[in-house]
Amino acid sequence: MMAARKRFPALEKYRAALLAHWEGVCAALGEAWAHLPAQRRERASSIIAKLLEFERAEVLPSLAKLLGRSLPLPERGGLEGYCALRASEIAVARALTPEEWSLQVRHPRFGIRTTQWWVERSLIAAKTALEQLRALVG
């Protein structure tokens, strides 16, 4: 007989809120983008490109390694590509078990990190990009 899995309601609530914020980032980025003056679109494009590159180079490979499965890379660039990637990451994250949230892997630059840490870093990077876009709006 298997032992019952210990539950941590506060942690489960935190992870649900984390996912909700992670999910809402694309809409917020799109709204900020829609209000950008034309002369600031080039700078905004570089902000989004940097965000997408962080996801492609750091977050996605780390999540794939942690979870032992391949995760699709977006074929498009820009905000559309970023949001497509985010949607696939969220679909994976929503299906994670509590144990999968706590899986650990060593990253060459960041050391030992969990699945949850990578989702948190991804959200922080997205919020930073959102702040930068909003600053361009003025």
Q: Which segments of the chain are extended strands (E)?
A: 104-107, 111-114
Q: What tokens does 4 get?
A: 């019952």
State which residues form the domain around 104: 40-137
pTM exceeds cut of 0.85: yes
Do residues 59 and 89 lie in contact, with contact meaning Cβ atoms separated by under 8 Å? Answer: yes
The 10s digit of each residue's pLDDT in 32-89 is 999 999 999 999 999 999 999 999 999 999 999 999 988 888 788 999 999 999 999 9
Distance CA 49, CA 39 (A): 17
The one-letter code for the residue type at 37 is P
Number of structural domains (the chain) is 1
* Domain-embedded: residue 106: yes
- pLDDT score recorded for residue 46: 97
* Domain at 64, CATH number: 1.20.120.450
What phi and psi, each to the nearest 5 degrees, are found at residue 8? Answer: -130, 85
